[in-house]
Structure 1
Amino acid sequence: MGALMPETNFKGIPASDGIAIGSIFCYIPTKLEIPVCVAGSVDEEMARFAAARERARVELQGLYDAIEKRVGKKEASIFEAHQEMLFDPALEEKIREFVEIGQTAEQALVMATEELARLLAGMDDELFAARALDVKDVGRRVLRILLGFPDTALSAVTEPSIIIAEDLTPSDTASLDPALTLGFITAQGGLTSHSAILARTLGLPAIVGMGDGLLDNISSGTFIVMDGRTGEMILEPDQETIARYKQIKTQRDSLLQILKAAAEKDALTANGRRVEVAANVGEASSARDALEHGAEGIGLLRTEFLYLEDTQPPSEEKQYRIYREIFEVMGTRPVVVRTLDIGGDKPPSYMPFPDEMNPFLGWRAIRISLDEPELFKTQLRAILRAAAGYQARIMFPMVSDLDELRRARDIVETVKRDLALASVEFAADVPVGIMVETPAAAVLVDVLAEASDFFSLGTNDLTQYTMAVDRGNAKVSGLFQPLHPAVLRLIQQTIEAGHTKGKWVGMCGELAGMTKAIPILLGFGLDEFSMNPRAIPEAKNLIGKLTDERAREIAGQAMSFGTSAEIENYMKGILAAL
């Protein structure tokens, strides 16, 4: 970045919607310098490390408790993972190796965490890169304790501010007071970075990936305007710009309140056809948030976080309690529970995974469940028990052929028989369906309908597999086009084939909440749209403006184009006219 001029504009990646206007707080972590000194004995240095590690564990437990109370268990689970990293035998062994060659506990800790972080960062996967940041965060916490520094973190923020940082670790964001945080802007990070996820959870505007040098010429106290919808940041805005953005913010906030109030009603097209609008959630607190935004059900209950937050598989009782709480929150509304969806890109620590060139095409999701039947049965027992008295549906991910589906359903029936023989209360009539996220499943819907009670389109992976593009690879991310004609044809084909067989067809991918896609999907005849809870009010409003006939006309015209760019441009015009 060069010298700043009045009203200088910059653009990053829009990560969380909203406008913030105010002074910035530049967060630059305390520099931890290791003093030059002679190391003690191996036992003495390892004892110092053990004492600092225990104090770090206490700090992390405090952070877990605070975040769980503030935003929920799922968001707090990162600090359980950090505690597990603290006591990782591989980390302790590596530290001991360095201590045994004469390093102090501080030196050994830095060398060990940097080595482990490099190993993770070298893996060409965004999730592993995030894990590398976690390792550094844990190492920095222990090092700070060893050096005798207090845990200041972001507690220095004492008045409402927009936080600007190189990046924000989970420990950084945990110490933020939401009442004093107007928004986040980071030089690094992407849409799946911790700060972006937390901003969306708290409903704060966020911009990420602003680029190197963000902090070079900016100081705390600088007045800015940021727009998390467009990714724009304006430094030293003039009064006209401030007034304009205040007006935009007021208009957006007013519209959101109107839409939220209207969203309490069922979604209906302009000609009165009922369309279900549901939410994608991960735990009870986000289910409550979904209800506040007008969700008519849960179209995707993610369960993988249960398997990733611990050092062993979740017990049947733990899963039962969590599922039951979510069902209770939703009451009589339907809840679609997706069974275990993990793979080599997000492996649990207790399960050995093979080295795979492309984990998205490897051992994952339903393939793991079928190969690990006891793990699968434990989850199914918990779901069926928790679903007693509620409207639950079970959904299998990554199904690609009828044999997989038949085998999975056979296991469901076995579990039901076992529960009945044990006189355990369970839901006996839970519909069972699949996610359509492989091209194979999309073209075989008429065949899969034999054993599937419903279908739900997972457009994130369907787009990835159809376009042969890794959505986590920045070099080809431009090819990830959910509105590509090929993807839309598969979606239309899935809906039509499902309806021909008398099956309900929904969608739980990101596309379901995109306003530019909703008219097309409505025209295809999609039965259910499941999305991020905060997207629900606007989606319901848009659905209410369209008749089925008009939606079919829009879909037909969109399908006449040969490129995603043409479809995008067409939809911009449609939305502007509504």
Structure 2
Amino acid sequence: MEIYEGKPIFKGIAIGKIFYYQKGKQQVKREKIQDVAAEIARYEAANEKASEQLQALYEKAVKEVGEANAAVFEVHMMMLEDDDYVSSITNMIETQNVNAEFAVATTGDNFAEMFSQMDDEYFKARAADVKDITERLISVLSEQESAGEIGAEPVIVVADDLAPSETVQMDKDKLLAFITRYGSANSHTAILARTMNIPALIGVDIKEEWNGHMAIVDGREGKLYIDPEEEVLTKLQEAQKKEQEARELLSMLKGKEDVTADGKHIKLYANIAGVGDVANVLANDAAGIGLFRSEFLYLEAEDYPDEETQFLAYKRVAENMAGKKVVVRTLDIGADKQVDYFNLDKEENPAMGYRAIRICLDRPEIFRTQLRALIRASAYGEIAIMYPMIISVEEVLKIKAIVEEVKKELDEQGIRYGNFEQGIMIETPAAVMMSEELAKEVDFFSIGTNDLTQYTLAMDRQNMKLDTMYDPHHPAILRMIRMTIENGHKGGCWVGICGELGADTTLTETFLKMGIDELSVSPSFVLPVRKIIRETKVK
């Protein structure tokens, strides 16, 4: 038995034979051509056919993994038409008199290398996309179709890396788990694994000789067992059986109401980091989105995202959620989320410094752009806007004044928008102590237990030395949550929790008895929390 470790992408246990997936990479030779115009025409025809293939893959992916996850193929279609990419290929054919296959392969290698050298993890992940469209073009030019074939039996797929088109073309009924040497948590393969609820590990030192061997993937521990011993196999088979039984029981809760045993209705929503997470929200049957971390739009950009870029993202989520509530938290940059182009000064204590709503009120042009995008998107679904790091009524009044100015601008321009709620995050002791007054100014509270715990205990939640002392169950935290709920209700607003404690099933009953109205959790926690809600009596 051999044991290997990797970075887990999705928890769970998979047991089966390994299928070592080898890419059908073409051997491209440099050839001198005589007719440059004919060669460019051949490339353009291949480009058109590749685009048609990607459109078909997009339509297939929409059915299998949802529109949000299928969007990668729209990106690939745009990359095929990218001016720099196309110009590089055609220029090489014209100036070097080389065949289209060689020009495509060389350009693909150059662009992939450029992306892989970038510091940003998102852009690093795009290197795989460039390789994917390049391989597709070469396959079309050489009249060979790409595969994605993994055989007739369920297998654990092991590969150096997997391109989006390869994972989508694989038979989903035959996939037990993914193991790759390369890739990232942002890769399409990782997203697919989470969407399909199958274990996946990345960063594993894979070997071709594993092909056909029995293996176990333990996504809980991040371990891969090759030719497991009988004792290990039996132990993990039992653990897998328990997991399957638990999932089956939970799956019976899909479509059920989020209502306590004695009739109190609870809003059970999900937290997301971006547009691509919506499919997981729907797959896990959440009643809405309680925390859309809008800062991902800024973290993934090289410059401030403009109004239209933001509007399209918010609109897409609102449309995909089909009338279910979508609570979008406005820009929460600063502290541990740094963006170079914001040019923020280095701070001794950034968690308590220039961040979130403080930046927005200090740089209103950034805030107005986001508010315009959000308010416009409210015409396409049930959008609610939530402001982070609030400490005073004065801040809320300033925000509401800006919102009214933006609405007036949109009215004058004839741009429509819908009705939208406005709420604040309660994540500072100051906000807790002022919650009765704050409740009169907003439609809802959402308690951010991560920061509330950090500020209340005066402990940096990212300091590993404090792990044993950092106690989110501290009585002071629970008292603050209770106080916030009571004061929120006095002021006429609904109150939810969107921090990590919302998914802590040991506290679900406690929160329900405190009178909480909403819990927003990671999508995979929706059904476990629903189970407890339906079993609990609050009176």
TM-score range, shorter chain: 0.7 to 0.9
Q: State the shift of 1:163 in Å.
A: 1.0
Q: State the shift of 1:26 in Å.
A: 0.9
**1:299 maps to which of 267, 283, 290:** 290
Mean alpha-carbon deviation: is it higher for 154-163 or for 501-510?
501-510
Determine if the alignment matches structure 1 residue 144 to structure 2 residue 144: no
Structure 2: how far apart are the matches of 1:299 and 1:28?
Answer: 41
Cα distance change on mapping 1:265 and 1:318 into 2, 3 Å? closer
Matches within 5 A, 1:4-15: 7-15=1-9
Cα distance change on mapping 1:183 and 1:448 into 2, 3 Å? same
Structure 2: how far apart are the matches of 1:375 and 1:442?
Answer: 27
Given that residues 449 and 498 in structure 1 are in contact (C-alpha distance below 8 angstroms), is that contact kept between their aligned partners in structure 2? Answer: no
Matches within 5 A, 1:202-217: 202-209=196-203, 211-212=204-205, 214-217=206-209
Structure 1 partner of 2:103 = 108
Q: State the shift of 1:172 in Å.
A: 1.5
Equivalent residue letter for 1:455: F
Structure 2 partner of 1:228 = 219
Cα distance change on mapping 1:245 and 1:117 into 2, 3 Å? same
Count of residue correspondences: 512
Unaligned runs of 5+ in 2: 335-339
Cα distance change on mapping 1:256 and 1:31 into 2, 3 Å? closer
**1:37 maps to which of 11, 31, 36:** 31
Matches within 5 A, 1:412-561: 412-414=403-405, 428=419, 430-435=420-425, 451-457=441-447, 484-485=470-471, 495=481, 498-499=484-485, 501-502=487-488, 504-509=494-499, 512-513=502-503, 528-541=518-531
Q: State the shift of 1:33 in Å.
A: 1.8
Given that residues 268 and 543 in structure 1 are in contact (C-alpha distance below 8 angstroms), is that contact kept between their aligned partners in structure 2? Answer: yes
Structure 1 partner of 2:337 = none
Q: State the shift of 1:128 in Å.
A: 1.8
Structure 2: how far apart are the matches of 1:57 and 1:340?
Answer: 36
Q: State the shift of 1:298 in Å.
A: 3.2
Given that residues 291 and 328 in structure 2 are in contact (C-alpha distance below 8 angstroms), is that contact kept between their aligned partners in structure 1? Answer: yes
Residue by residue, what CA displacement relative to the aligned partner does 1:213-272 show, whole Å, maximum 9, x if unpaired?
Answer: x124311x2122222233232222345544443332222222233344457353649x99
Give TM-score, length-normalised by structure 2. Answer: 0.75
Cα distance change on mapping 1:149 and 1:425 into 2, 3 Å? closer
Cα distance change on mapping 1:455 and 1:355 into 2, 3 Å? closer
Equivalent residue letter for 2:210: I
Residue by residue, what CA displacement relative to the aligned partner does 1:11-30 show, whole Å, maximum 9, x if unpaired?
Answer: 32232233222212111112
Cα distance change on mapping 1:92 and 1:86 into 2, 3 Å? same
Given that residues 16 and 156 in structure 2 are in contact (C-alpha distance below 8 angstroms), is that contact kept between their aligned partners in structure 1? Answer: yes
Residue by residue, what CA displacement relative to the aligned partner does 1:164-204 show, whole Å, maximum 9, x if unpaired?
Answer: 11222211211111111122122233433322221111122
Mean alpha-carbon deviation: is it higher for 242-251 or for 82-91?
242-251
Cα distance change on mapping 1:287 and 1:197 into 2, 3 Å? closer
Given that residues 482 and 488 in structure 1 are in contact (C-alpha distance below 8 angstroms), is that contact kept between their aligned partners in structure 2? Answer: no
Equivalent residue letter for 1:150: E
Structure 2 partner of 1:129 = 124
Determine if the alignment matches structure 1 residue 313 to structure 2 residue 305: no
**2:78 maps to which of 62, 65, 84:** 84
Determine if the alignment matches structure 1 residue 410 to structure 2 residue 401: yes
Residue by residue, what CA displacement relative to the aligned partner does 1:503-553 show, whole Å, maximum 9, x if unpaired?
Answer: 54433355633557868978998653312333222234456788999xxxx
Cα distance change on mapping 1:457 and 1:38 into 2, 3 Å? farther
Structure 1: how far apart are the matches of 2:123 and 2:501?
Answer: 25
Determine if the alignment matches structure 1 residue 172 to structure 2 residue 166: yes
Residue by residue, what CA displacement relative to the aligned partner does 1:268-327 show, whole Å, maximum 9, x if unpaired?
Answer: 49x998764322365875454233xxx354323577999999999369799768625624
Q: State the shift of 1:70 in Å.
A: 1.4
Q: State the shift of 1:78 in Å.
A: 0.6
Residue by residue, what CA displacement relative to the aligned partner does 1:444-491 show, whole Å, maximum 9, x if unpaired?
Answer: 978866754333356789999998899xxxxx9x78979945998997
Structure 2 partner of 1:25 = 19
Given that residues 163 and 189 in structure 2 are in contact (C-alpha distance below 8 angstroms), is that contact kept between their aligned partners in structure 1? Answer: yes
Structure 2 partner of 1:350 = none
Structure 2 partner of 1:120 = 115
Equivalent residue letter for 1:223: M
Residue by residue, what CA displacement relative to the aligned partner does 1:90-138 show, whole Å, maximum 9, x if unpaired?
Answer: 2223334544552633333333333333333223222121122222222
Q: State the shift of 1:151 in Å.
A: 1.3
Structure 2 partner of 1:247 = 238
Give TM-score, length-normalised by structure 1. Answer: 0.70
Structure 2 partner of 1:336 = 326
Q: State the shift of 1:397 in Å.
A: 5.9
Given that residues 495 and 526 in structure 1 are in contact (C-alpha distance below 8 angstroms), is that contact kept between their aligned partners in structure 2? Answer: no
Structure 2: how far apart are the matches of 1:15 and 1:415?
Answer: 41
Equivalent residue letter for 1:249: Q
Given that residues 154 and 175 in structure 2 are in contact (C-alpha distance below 8 angstroms), is that contact kept between their aligned partners in structure 1? Answer: yes
Structure 1: how far apart are the matches of 2:479 and 2:101?
Answer: 60
Given that residues 300 and 530 in structure 1 are in contact (C-alpha distance below 8 angstroms), is that contact kept between their aligned partners in structure 2? Answer: yes
Cα distance change on mapping 1:480 and 1:150 into 2, 3 Å? farther
Cα distance change on mapping 1:464 and 1:545 into 2, 3 Å? same
Equivalent residue letter for 2:527: P
Q: State the shift of 1:382 in Å.
A: 3.1
Identity among equivalent positions (%) equals: 32
Equivalent residue letter for 1:179: D
Equivalent residue letter for 2:526: I
Q: State the shift of 1:411 in Å.
A: 4.8
Given that residues 20 and 157 in structure 2 are in contact (C-alpha distance below 8 angstroms), is that contact kept between their aligned partners in structure 1? Answer: yes
**2:175 maps to which of 173, 176, 181:** 181
Given that residues 84 and 311 in structure 1 are in contact (C-alpha distance below 8 angstroms), is that contact kept between their aligned partners in structure 2? Answer: no
Structure 2: how far apart are the matches of 1:96 and 1:462?
Answer: 57
**Helix, strand or coil at the partner of 2:50:** helix
Given that residues 442 and 491 in structure 1 are in contact (C-alpha distance below 8 angstroms), is that contact kept between their aligned partners in structure 2? Answer: no
**Helix, strand or coil at the partner of 1:65:** helix
Given that residues 339 and 395 in structure 1 are in contact (C-alpha distance below 8 angstroms), is that contact kept between their aligned partners in structure 2? Answer: yes
Equivalent residue letter for 2:258: D
**Helix, strand or coil at the partner of 1:163:** strand
Cα distance change on mapping 1:540 and 1:485 into 2, 3 Å? same
Structure 2: how far apart are the matches of 1:483 and 1:139?
Answer: 52
Given that residues 290 and 534 in structure 1 are in contact (C-alpha distance below 8 angstroms), is that contact kept between their aligned partners in structure 2? Answer: yes
Q: State the shift of 1:405 in Å.
A: 5.1
Structure 2: how far apart are the matches of 1:526 and 1:195?
Answer: 37
Given that residues 307 and 369 in structure 2 are in contact (C-alpha distance below 8 angstroms), is that contact kept between their aligned partners in structure 1? Answer: no
Given that residues 423 and 443 in structure 2 are in contact (C-alpha distance below 8 angstroms), is that contact kept between their aligned partners in structure 1? Answer: yes
Structure 2: how far apart are the matches of 1:500 and 1:172?
Answer: 53
Given that residues 463 and 480 in structure 1 are in contact (C-alpha distance below 8 angstroms), is that contact kept between their aligned partners in structure 2? Answer: no
**Helix, strand or coil at the partner of 1:217:** helix
Cα distance change on mapping 1:14 and 1:198 into 2, 3 Å? same
Residue by residue, what CA displacement relative to the aligned partner does 1:415-453 show, whole Å, maximum 9, x if unpaired?
Answer: 65678899999754x420135679998999788667543
Equivalent residue letter for 1:434: I
**Helix, strand or coil at the partner of 1:313:** helix
